[in-house]
Structure 1
Amino acid sequence: MQKLQTFQCRSHDFDELRISLERWDQSYRQLNGGAFYGGLNYIAIDDLEVFDIRWGTVINYRGLTPKGTVGFGLPVSISGETRYLGRPFTINELLIQHSGSEGDLIGSQNFKLWVLTVSEQRLLNRLAHLSGKEPSQILAKKSKVYLTDKMATILRAKFYQILHRSFSSDINEFAATLAVRKMGEELLDLVANACCREDFSKPTLRLSRQRQLVRKVEEYILNYPDKTLRTSDICQYMGVSERSLRDAFAHCTGINLSSYLRALRLNQVRAELKILAPHVLIRDVAFDWGFTHMGQFSADYKRLFGETPSRTCGSVKLKSFAVIPV
């Protein structure tokens, strides 16, 4: 019998939070909010992962679930605009990330999400058993399912029960493993039943095109990091009007075009400083990413990350997070 695996992570660095989920292929970008603080409580048993993840700033997650698994996310706390695959979502929606498909989530400040991953085959078997229908058709093209207040409350209670029991010290390891395995089965049944609902959302063609445009602009910016680009230059290269470009960013990210692209470049500067410090000058990295006015760059950097570039360089050698096996 596979043992229950647990750990907890607390961090002032979103990259370290990402690294702690070592089975996931993912990246995080900070888009707003100042100094980062986040954490997670994680358990795994058999082919189920259950964890809560939370952060205090606006973060953009992109990535893949562990190979061969389907992921589900249930929001617990939202305090601002949120997006999943370019569309706003509410606290009573179950988010779905298909195996091999990239997830793209922008979480608000003070955001918390409960997550379940399960092997795709196990989920399909459960769906077939519950519905009597072709299971692959039940999930096809679904990216989120609308839940009733009652369903959302029951799901949150089960997530909480599993995590609370997993980190409880009042029972032995064997008993905890049996209890969590049983609760995991119950959680999977609840999620599978939710997937069978017909009240779900599919992406529109217009939104899909807008998301593609946002990605193309990002690639363009990253391919020409030191080039000063005006909105008109980007529009000309992409072959779209300025209104179409601004609408795409507003709808898919909830952030205006200039702020988003500035945050994109600042995140690239931060990533390079963390890798190259102390063997590189801050001004050289900033210049490479199109920041020519150091005073304005430093102010923008501190406003986004809650620390100066030199502080980022100085903290590279410091341990700012802890992964705690339990």
Structure 2
Amino acid sequence: MSQHPISAIHPPASAAGGRAMGFESAIYADVDEQAAALTGWNQSYLQLSGGGFRGAIQRVDLGPVRLFMEGLESTVYQSGQLKAGVLALGVPLRCDGSSVFCGSQSDRNALHVFSGQSGFEFRTGSDHVMMGLELDPVLSNTLYPWGHGALAGSQAGLRATDPTCLEGLRQVMLMLFETAHTAPAMFSLPALRAGMVDTLVEKVAALNLASCTNEVAHDVHWLLVQQARALLQGQLQQPPTVGELCQQLGVSRRTLQSAFQRILGISPLAYLRAIRLGAVRQALKTASSVTEAATDMGFWHFGHFAKDYQAMFGELPSQTHKRCAPPLQ
């Protein structure tokens, strides 16, 4: 029997969270907290699958190079953008076949490039483990000059690279995470940290990103979902019906349904419900009451709202509010 994504990152014997020099690990029960765990990524996560959220992140900080390993047991739609000059790469460990990265089906054997002027979008499956690394601008510029080189203006997306080189990078990253678990004191030794950085940079250089085939898709379904998301995000308090959304986009209901099912794995109506429930969950952390948060997002039948909220997040809205809202002065 295969491990769950979180168990794969956090073996049963380890604590739910931990920190050593250069190494951090944590398990999250809140999708927004996990989104914020990677600093500098400007991420937002939208939970698409019900039953509560469970995820985990491990991080190894080597100074000019930072590694992470993220596991998810919920289907999540991620979007974000890194600052210019940062080279951020993703190397999958677990993909369940339903993930879509920047419009292309995610593949364990494809390099995921998160850097890009327009940011990235990633619909993960519920059996998801991704390793990633970030190279600071000064270091990445020695490999691939961003100002005038082959990566200038590059967009986020999948890259077809040499499988042997990709596997070499994957194994080095796995060894570093194993070392972080078994011998964290090694990260306090400057000479060893410098050696780890050199090894990682060598493996990244071997990928020869400047010559990799860019698999960014200009898929009509992906572009349509992007347009629909932008419209819905701007009208959350008074969202259009699916029919009105089709009119605004100039497409048939069947076309919109097909696009959402293929890219997000859910219907437009289910997506609208998820984004509104997610907005209420964020509002509950600062709102004075559940009623205020719900009505601000257009929910008026509180029985149905509470039922849908519990199905999505595994708890009642009153429980979220009690746990997260600031205490009364």
> Could you say which TM-score interval applies, normalised by the shorter chain?
0.7 to 0.9
In structure 2, the CA distance between the partners of 1:170 and 1:18, relative to structure 1 (3 Å rule), is closer
2:234 is the counterpart of 1:223: yes
1:310 counterpart residue number? 318
2:86 to 62, 69, 91: 69
TM-score (norm. length: structure 1): 0.82
Structure 1 pair 302–73 and aligned structure 2 pair: CA distance change class (3 A): same
Is the alpha carbon distance of 1:229 and 1:38 closer, same or farther for their aligned partners in structure 2, counting shifts above 3 Å? same
Matched with 1:193 is 206
- Say whether residues 1:55 and 2:72 are aligned partners: yes
> Which residue in the other structure is 2:22 paired with?
5
Offset at 1:233?
1.0
Once the two structures are TM-superposed, the CA of residue 99 in structure 1 deviates from its matched residue by 4.6
Q: Identify the residue that residue 174 of structure 2 maps to in structure 1.
A: 160
Count of residues in correspondence between the two structures:
305
Q: Which runs of 5+ in 2 are unaligned?
A: 1-20
Instruction: Describe how 1:29-178 pairs up with structure 2 within 5 A.
Output: 29-127=46-144, 135-136=149-150, 140-141=154-155, 143-147=157-161, 150-169=164-183, 171=185, 173-175=187-189, 177-178=190-191
Cα 1:197/1:228, change in 2 over 3 Å: closer
The residue identity in structure 2 corresponding to 1:118 is L
Cα distance change of structure 1 residues 306 and 215 upon mapping to structure 2, 3 Å threshold? same
C-alpha distance in 1 between matches for 2:114 and 2:193: 23
Q: In structure 2, what is the Cα distance between the partners aligned to 1:138 and 1:274? A: 40
Contact 1:125 1:135 in 2 (8 A): no
Is the Cα–Cα contact under 8 Å of residues 42 and 52 in structure 1 kept in the other structure? yes
| Partner secondary structure for residue 43 of structure 2 | strand
Identity of aligned residues (%): 23
Q: Indicate how the Cα distance of structure 1 residues 146 and 283 shifts in structure 2: closer, same or farther if over 3 A, else same.
A: same
Amino acid at match of 1:146: A
Q: How large is the Cα RMSD of the aligned pairs?
A: 2.9
Give the AA of the match of 1:158.
V
Q: 1:210 to 1:197 in 2, by over 3 A?
A: same
- Please state if 1:184 is matched with 2:204: no
Deviations 1:99-135 (A, max 9, x none): 543111111113111010113453342258xxxxx84
Q: Per-residue displacement from partner, 1:4-58 (whole Å, max 9, x unpaired)?
A: 6332222211222223323331111111042212221112223211111112111
Give the strand-richer structure, 1 or 2: 1
Decide whether the 8 Å contact of 1:86 with 1:253 is kept in 2.
Answer: no
Report the equivalent of 1:324: none
Q: 1:195 to 1:263 in 2, by over 3 A?
A: farther
Structure 1 stretch displaced more, 143-152 or 292-301: 143-152
Whether the aligned pair in 2 keeps the contact of 1:85 and 1:252 (CA below 8 Å) is no
Please report the TM-score for the alignment, with normalisation by the length of structure 2: 0.81
Which is bigger in relative contact order (C-alpha 8 A, separation at least 6)?
A: 1
Q: What's the CA shift string for 1:265-297, capped at 9, x where partnerless?
A: 111111111221xx12x2343233233332222
Equivalent residues in 2 for 1:199-238, closer than 5 Å: 200-205=213-218, 207=219, 210-227=221-238, 229-238=240-249
In the aligned structure 1, how far is the partner of 2:133 from the partner of 2:144? 16
The residue aligned with 1:17 is 34
Match of 2:43 in 1: 26
